[in-house]
Amino acid sequence: MATITRTPVGIIGAGPAGLFLAHLLHRQGIETVILESRSRAEVEGTIRAGVLEQWVVDLMNQMGLGERMMREGHFHSGITLRFNGESHHIDMAELTDGKRVTVYAQHEVIRDLVAARLEDGGEIVFGVSDVQLHGVESDQPSITFRRSPDGPVEELRCDFIAGCDGFHGPSRQTIPTAIRSEHQIVYPFGWLGILTSAPPSHPELIYAAHERGFALLSTRSPEVQRLYIQVDPKDDIANWSDARIWSELHTRLEDKSGWSLTEGPVFQKGIIAMRSFVCETMRHGRLFLAGDAAHIVPPTGAKGLNLAVADVLVLSRALTAFFKSNDGDGLAAYSAQCLRRIWKAERFSWYMTTMLHHNPNETSFEQRIHLADLDYVVHSRAAMTALAENYVGLPME
């Protein structure tokens, strides 16, 4: 006989979506159980996003989770766009009434959220396997899982299930294909990302469009820098010696001004593929998808983590109204409300990606249009403001 436990909200996945949701609901007195397939060390050690929108930073501070971020994060009020060997500064703060972005690594956010959840007595079960969703169309959905690969099957009975299990998790697949429509672009390029022990080369992020491909300079700390170059997504990281990576970074990032990139030992490197993806609907019965489980953006706009938090903020408000006032309107509106913001972030991420990358499948006409777009954006205050307000994050309704 399986062990049976109960929780108001069962959350699958301890990424940004699942952890923020657990914290937001706990603050409203609604308890949750998070089931996560990876170990705590793996979840806390995966190197991914770096840029937080202003409202996410404000939310972390309001939740009492921002102390280390405010100490160790980097606050950037602008970015540099570099193309045709020239640099153009976009002053985000000046264009958006003082809004900034914060560079604070996703795995540091995860560490802060996991520690605070466990301190609050919250339940996160790491290392689960065989996760399956049942009865999502009924009032009593449940999740079955094993705590270890050889352990017995356990059942978690819930009022609601939040599918926060990323692009490859089982939640989205639970929605019948007849009522799920998926929209996707797979790009013919990926990013090779490195972490290097080096001092910062530049005070702000540099997004560079170059005929050899895109490059991005970001940071992590006074001692560690994060850099990316566009590569073939099917390329093998073994083909990329450190010397070859640095050579491409110098070529693509350096401009005519004489500024130069500071090198250091590379201690982490990997290649990721890039896609744009949206699943409509994000709700089926008592299952609600949030974050990468429902949508993916290419990383160029730095939107993925921020969108995941936006979804669960909307979901936490809707669940709170349901549990406290028996008001289901927010839950009924959840998918449509989130998708409005998601499609705008998809548009911006697609725009930044197509404008800044070299696409070998495009005609020379299309490639020149992207250069014209860049030239326009750095010389028109209207276009620059549009880029800035999307980059720092559109307002939460």
Phi, psi for 165 (deg, rounded to 5) = -100, 25
Q: Which entry of ligand FAD, ligand DHB, none binds 60, CB below 5 to 8 A by partner kind?
A: none
Q: Which entry of ligand FAD, ligand DHB, none binds 226, CB below 5 to 8 A by partner kind?
A: ligand DHB
- The candidate with the shortest Cα–Cα distance to 26, out of 150, 104, 118, is 118
Residue 158 contacts ligand FAD per CB under 6 A: no
Interface segment toward ligand FAD; rule CB under 6 A; list 78-86, 250-258, 297-305, 340-348: 297-305
- The candidate with the shortest Cα–Cα distance to 310, out of 321, 294, 323, 325, is 294
Q: Which entry of ligand FAD, ligand DHB, none binds 190, CB below 5 to 8 A by partner kind?
A: none
> According to CB under 6 A, which one of 50, 163, 190, 330 is a site residue for ligand DHB?
50
Residue 10 contacts ligand FAD per CB under 6 A: no
Q: Which entry of ligand FAD, ligand DHB, none binds 339, CB below 5 to 8 A by partner kind?
A: none
- Cis before 385 (ω within 30): no
> What would the x/- binding string for ligand DHB be over residues 209 to 228, using CB under 6 A?
-------x-x-------x--
How distant, in Å, are the alpha carbons of 18, 19, 111, 310, 319 from that of 14?
5, 5, 11, 16, 19
Residue 7 contacts ligand DHB per CB under 6 A: no
Rounded to 5 degrees, what angle do the CA atoms 175, 180, 183 make?
130
CB of 375 to ligand FAD, least distance (A): 25
Per-residue tokens: 13: 């996945």
How distant, in Å, are the alpha carbons of 290, 291, 359 from that of 167?
10, 9, 24
Which residues pair with residue 183 across a beta bridge? 278
Tell me how far apart the 2 most distant CA atoms of the chain are, in Å: 71
Sheet holding 74-76, edge to edge: 51-52, 101-103, 74-76
Identify the burial level of 347 via C-beta atoms within 10 angstroms of its C-beta, where 0-12 means exposed, 13-18 middle and 19 or more buried: middle
Interface segment toward ligand DHB; rule CB under 6 A; list 34-42, 46-54, 234-242, 331-339: 46-54
Interface segment toward ligand FAD; rule CB under 6 A; list 8-16, 71-79, 319-327, 361-369: 8-16
CB of 162 to ligand DHB, least distance (A): 25
DSSP string for 159-180 = EEEEE--TTTSSHHHHS-GGG-
Q: Of 14-73, which residues contact ligand FAD (CB under 6 A)?
A: 14-18, 35-38, 43, 48-51
Q: How many CB atoms lie within 10 A of CB 343?
A: 14
- The candidate with the shortest Cα–Cα distance to 106, out of 247, 246, 336, 306, is 306
Q: Which entry of ligand DHB, ligand FAD, none binds 16, CB below 5 to 8 A by partner kind?
A: ligand FAD
- How far apart are the C-alpha atoms of 189 and 359, rounded to whole Å? 8
- Catalytic residues, by residue number, are 76, 207, 299, 303, 391
- Give the E-state strand segments of the chain in sequence order: 3-12, 32-35, 51-52, 74-76, 79-83, 86-90, 101-103, 123-125, 129-134, 142-146, 153-163, 181-197, 206-208, 215-219, 224-231, 266-280, 283-284, 287-289, 295-296
Residue 374 contacts ligand DHB per CB under 6 A: no
Per-residue tokens: 166: 């990323």
What is the rounded radius of gyration, in angstroms, for the C-alpha atoms of the chain?
22
Residue 141 contacts ligand DHB per CB under 6 A: no
Give the end-to-end CA distance of the chain in Å, rounded to a whole number: 46
> According to CB under 6 A, which one of 9, 11, 12, 266 is a site residue for ligand FAD?
12
- Could you tell me how many residues of this chain bind ligand FAD (CB under 6 A)? 35
Judged by beta carbon, residue 35 or residue 388, the one nearer ligand FAD is 35
- Could you tell me how many residues of this chain bind ligand DHB (CB under 6 A)? 11
> According to CB under 6 A, which one of 73, 78, 122, 166 is a site residue for ligand FAD?
166
Judged by beta carbon, residue 248 or residue 292, the one nearer ligand FAD is 292
> According to CB under 6 A, which one of 299, 314, 330, 392 is a site residue for ligand DHB?
299
CB of 369 to ligand DHB, least distance (A): 22
CB of 164 to ligand FAD, least distance (A): 5
CB of 191 to ligand DHB, least distance (A): 8
State the residues that interact with ligand FAD by CB under 6 A: 12-18, 35-38, 43, 48-51, 106, 128, 131, 164-166, 169-170, 193, 272, 291-292, 299, 302-306, 308
State the residues that interact with ligand DHB by CB under 6 A: 49-51, 103, 205, 216, 218, 226, 299-300, 302
